[in-house]
Amino acid sequence: MTAIRRNLCVLFADVAGSTRLYEKLGDAEALRAIGRCFGCMQHAVLFYKGRVIKTIGDEVMAVFDSAADGMLAASDMQQRIDSLPPLGGMKMAIRVGFHFGPAIDENNDVFGDTVNVAARMAELAKAGQIVTTEASVDLLPELLRRRTRDIDSLTVKGKEIDIRVHEVIWQENIELTMKSESMVAVDSTQARVRLRHGADEIVLSAERPAVSLGRDLMCDIAIRDGSASRNHGKIERRRDKFVLADISTNGTYVTFQGEAEFLLKREEIILRNRGRIVFGHAWRSAADETLEFVVET
């Protein structure tokens, strides 16, 4: 089949808390419960003239010709699942995310940035929630747009700028929690962190949201210390914050100004104020290779 590039609404839906289901109900009963959820989700897809692309574990991927069909199917899924009786005292729930945009449709599979964004929306959703992008909401008829509410601008992996995210209100009689007009919005585009490594300085911001760290010369900041891993970690912008993530063997040692040094190992932490980062061992002297940071908001 020839690959076709066209606009599609890509939707991901997965069963929330499936691991706990298996632990509490046992494999056979949990599998039946997830199968019932799949049945509800697939019926909703077909009712709104969608197409199930694949099922992966406890997740369904489907496509629709319009954002409206995707939203209606997502709401129908939630209503069907919500009507299921509890099993073993556990109420079934799903998380749904969708996004409309250009995608490559080939051999009953779909590829491209739209798929990645839709998957990220599903990751952001909580149990019983539907999350989508503002770009998708803008394509909805007015009556459907009224059934959505703005959540926030969020950083999405692989995107240079933040994406405005909305929630779909699928319950018939939900009391909406509106944002207070007195709240002052944080301008996340102004957040920056200055990184100094030797004589080099890199500024992370909305324009440059991430850097990789490690001994590999392909890393954005190449570390010469033999205690560092080839791919040691990264620093990335998430909304108005900057997160240091360690994926190394020996860990990353972090010091915030005026505080004690601590070890970060296979963990993440939000950088604040100013401080020092050492790779693979604790800081010993000014001769150590360090990465200094200053957070500017």
Tokens of 52: 């199930």
Is residue 166 within 8 A of residue 131, CB to CB? The reply is: yes
Amino acid at site 287 = A
- CATH 3.40.50.800 correct for 4-168: no
Residue 234: strand pairing partners: 212, 245
Is residue 136 within 8 A of residue 67, CB to CB? The reply is: yes
* 4-168 and 189-296, same CATH topology: no
CA distances from 25 to 19, 30, 59, 78 (A): 10, 6, 19, 22
Amino acid at site 172 = E
Residue 228 has a CB neighbour count (10 Å cut-off) of 25
Amino acid at site 240 = D
- pLDDT (tens digit, 0 to 9) for every residue of the chain, 297 residues total? 567 888 999 999 999 887 787 887 888 888 888 888 999 999 999 999 999 999 888 899 999 999 999 999 999 999 999 888 887 777 889 999 999 999 998 888 899 999 999 999 998 898 899 999 999 999 999 889 989 998 877 766 666 677 889 999 998 644 444 443 333 444 555 789 999 999 999 999 988 889 999 999 999 999 999 999 999 999 998 877 899 999 999 999 999 998 999 999 888 899 999 999 999 999 998 889 999 999 987
- What pLDDT does 291 receive? 97
Of 56, 67, 172, which Cα lies nearest the Cα of 117?
A: 67
Amino acid at site 195 = L
Is residue 14 within 8 A of residue 58, CB to CB? The reply is: yes
Sequence-distant (6+) residues with CB within 8 A of 293 are 193, 194, 195, 196, 235, 242, 271, 274, 275, 276, 277
Domain boundaries, the chain: 4-168, 189-296
- What pLDDT does 1 receive? 53
Is residue 10 within 8 A of residue 38, CB to CB? The reply is: no
When the candidates are 3.30.70.20, 1.10.260.30, 3.40.50.1970, 2.60.200.20, the CATH number that belongs to 189-296 is 2.60.200.20
This model's pTM is above 0.75:
no
